[in-house]
Amino acid sequence: MDIFSHALLPYLIGKLFKRNKEEVTALVLGGLAPDFDVFILWINYLYPTFFLITHRGITHSLLFGFFTGIIILYLASRTRVKAKVSRFIDFRPTISYRMAVFAYAGVIIHLLLDYFTTKGIPLLYPLDTARWSAEVFFYTDIYLTILSLAIIIYLFKKPLQTNTITKFLVVFLVIFAILGTVRIVEKASAEDFLQSVNINAYPTSNPFDWYVLKESEDKLAIYQYNGLTRTSQYNETLLRLNIGPDGDDGENLDAALDAAGELPQIKMFRWRAYTSAVNASFSNETWLLEYYDPVQRAMMRDSPAVFRRAAANWSSIIVKVEAGKAVIL
What is the pLDDT averaged over residues 284-311? 80
Q: What is the overall mean pLDDT for the chain?
A: 90
Q: Which residues of 5-33 are buried (b: 16+ CB within 10 A; e: fewer)?
A: bbbbbbbbbbbeeebeebbbbbbbbbbbb
Output the CA–CA distances (angstroms, integers) from residue 212 to 9, 127, 191, 235, in the order listed: 31, 30, 7, 9
What are 188-244's pLDDT values in tens digits?
999 998 887 889 999 999 999 999 999 988 999 999 999 999 998 888 999 999 998
Whether 158 is covered by a domain: the verdict is no
Are the beta carbons of 59 and 127 closer than 8 angstroms?
no
Residue 40 domain-assigned (yes or no): yes
Amino acid in the structure at residue 69: G
Domain boundary among 238, 267, 302: 238
Whether residue 30 lies inside any domain: the answer is: yes
Give the single-character DSSP code of 132. Answer: B
The answer to the question of residue 213 being in a domain is: yes
pLDDT score, position 226: 93
Within 8 A by CB and 6+ apart from 265, the residues are 48, 317, 328
Question: Alpha-carbon dihedral of residues 110, 116, 120, 123, nearest 10 degrees?
Answer: 60
- Rounded distance, CA 31 to CA 69, Å? 8
| Same domain (yes/no): 35, 20 | yes
pLDDT, position 87: 78
Q: Do 249 and 304 reside in the same domain of the chain?
A: yes
Residue 310 has pLDDT above 80, yes or no: no
Across 81-85, 114-118, 175-179, 217-221, least confident range = 81-85
Same-domain check for residues 43 and 9: yes
Co-location of 39 and 123 in the same domain: yes
Asked if 214 and 273 sit in the same domain, the reply is no
Q: What is the mean pLDDT of residues 233-256?
A: 82
Both 207 and 256 in one domain: the answer is: no
Are 219 and 96 contained in the same domain?
no
Answer yes or no: are the C-beta atoms of 102 and 15 closer than 8 Å.
Answer: no
The number of helices, as runs of H, and strands, as runs of E, in the chain is: 13, 9
Whole-number Å distance between alpha carbons of 176 and 174: 5
- Predicted model pTM: 0.92
**195 φ/ψ angles, rounded to the nearest 5 degrees:** 50, 55
Could you tell me if 122 and 76 lie in one domain?
yes
For 121-166, how does the pLDDT look when each residue is reduced to its tens digit (9 = 90+)?
A: 999 999 999 999 999 999 999 999 999 999 999 888 776 677 888 9
Are 81 and 202 part of one and the same domain? no
Domain containing residue 273: 241-328
In a domain, 300, yes or no: yes
Length of the chain measured in residues: 329
Residues 17, 125 share a domain: yes
Query: Are 249 and 199 part of one and the same domain?
Result: no
Same domain? For 227 and 272 the reply is no
Give the chain's domain count: 3
Domain boundary among 238, 261, 296: 238
Beta strands in the chain, from DSSP E residues, in sequence order: 199-203, 209-215, 219-226, 231-239, 241-243, 277-283, 286-292, 316-322, 325-328
| Band (27; pLDDT cuts 50, 70, 90) | very high
Q: What is the pLDDT at residue 156? A: 82
Establish if 168 belongs to a structural domain: no
Q: Given 134, 154, 171, which residue is the final one in a domain?
A: 134
